Amino acid sequence: MIKVVRGMRDLFGTELATWHRVERVIRQMADAYGYREFRTPIVEHTELFKRGVGEGSDIVGKEMYTFDDRGGDSLTLRPEMTAPIVRAAIEHNLVRHQPTSRLWYYGPLFRYERPQKGRYRQFHQFGAELLGSAQPEADAEIILLAWETLRMLGITSVALELNTLGTAASRQAYRDALVEYLQDRKEHLSEDSQRRLQLNPLRILDSKDPADKAITDGAPLLRDHLDVDSQEHFATVRLLLDAAGVPYTVNDRLVRGLDYYSHTVFEITTTDLGSQNAVCGGGRYDPLFAMLGGQETPAVGFSIGVERLVLLLEQLEGGFPPEPPAEVFVVALSDDARLPAQLLAIRLRRAGFTVLSDLQRRSGKAQLKEAAKEGVRWALLLGTDELADETVVVRRMHDGSQTNVGHSELESFLRA
Which residue type, as a one-letter code, is found at position 333?
A: L
Count of residues that interact with ligand HAM, criterion CB under 6 A = 24
Per CB under 6 A, which of residues 207..226 are in contact with ligand HAM?
none
Taking Cα atoms as reference points, which of 219, 132, 111, 231 lies closest to residue 174? 219
Rounded Cα distance between 144 and 150, Å, is 10
Least distance CB 67 / ligand HAM (angstroms):
19
Least distance CB 304 / ligand HAM (angstroms):
6
Stretch in the footprint of ligand HAM (CB under 6 A) among 100-108, 279-287, 346-354, 365-373: 279-287
Strand positions, DSSP E, 182-248: none
Rounded Cα distance between 339 and 346, Å, is 11
Query: Does 303 help bind ligand HAM (rule: CB under 6 A)?
Result: yes
Stretch in the footprint of ligand HAM (CB under 6 A) among 80-88, 132-140, 380-388, 395-403: 80-88
Least distance CB 114 / ligand HAM (angstroms):
9
Least distance CB 132 / ligand HAM (angstroms):
14
Rounded Cα distance between 313 and 236, Å, is 33
Which residues is 164 bridged to in the sheet? 264
Query: Does 84 help bind ligand HAM (rule: CB under 6 A)?
Result: no
Query: Does 161 help bind ligand HAM (rule: CB under 6 A)?
Result: no
215, 280, 312, 332: which one binds ligand HAM (CB under 6 A)? 280
Query: Does 262 help bind ligand HAM (rule: CB under 6 A)?
Result: no
Residue nearest to ligand HAM according to CB distances in the complex: 305
Taking Cα atoms as reference points, which of 75, 72, 97 lies closest to residue 84? 75
CB 53 within 8 A of CB 259: yes
Query: Does 87 help bind ligand HAM (rule: CB under 6 A)?
Result: no
Query: Does 80 help bind ligand HAM (rule: CB under 6 A)?
Result: yes
302, 379, 386, 394: which one binds ligand HAM (CB under 6 A)? 302
Query: Does 200 help bind ligand HAM (rule: CB under 6 A)?
Result: no
CB 63 within 8 A of CB 79: yes
Which residues is 131 bridged to in the sheet? 101, 299
Query: Does 238 help bind ligand HAM (rule: CB under 6 A)?
Result: no
How does DSSP classify residue 116? B
- Contact letters for ligand HAM, residues 88-127 (x by CB under 6 A): -----------------------x-x-----xx--x-x-x
The CB density around residue 34, as the number of other CB atoms within 10 Å, is 9
Least distance CB 175 / ligand HAM (angstroms):
20
Q: What are phi and psi of 96, to 5 degrees?
A: -70, -35
The CB density around residue 48, as the number of other CB atoms within 10 Å, is 17
52, 54, 283, 298: which one binds ligand HAM (CB under 6 A)? 283
CB 404 within 8 A of CB 389: no
Q: What are phi and psi of 247, to 5 degrees?
A: -80, 145
Instruction: Name the residue nearer to ligand HAM (CB basis): 246 or 279.
Output: 279
Query: Does 35 help bind ligand HAM (rule: CB under 6 A)?
Result: no
| Residue count of the chain | 416
Strand positions, DSSP E, 318-377: 328-332, 355-357
Which residues contact ligand HAM (rule: CB under 6 A)? 80-82, 111, 113, 119-120, 123, 125, 127, 129, 278-283, 285, 301-303, 305, 307-308
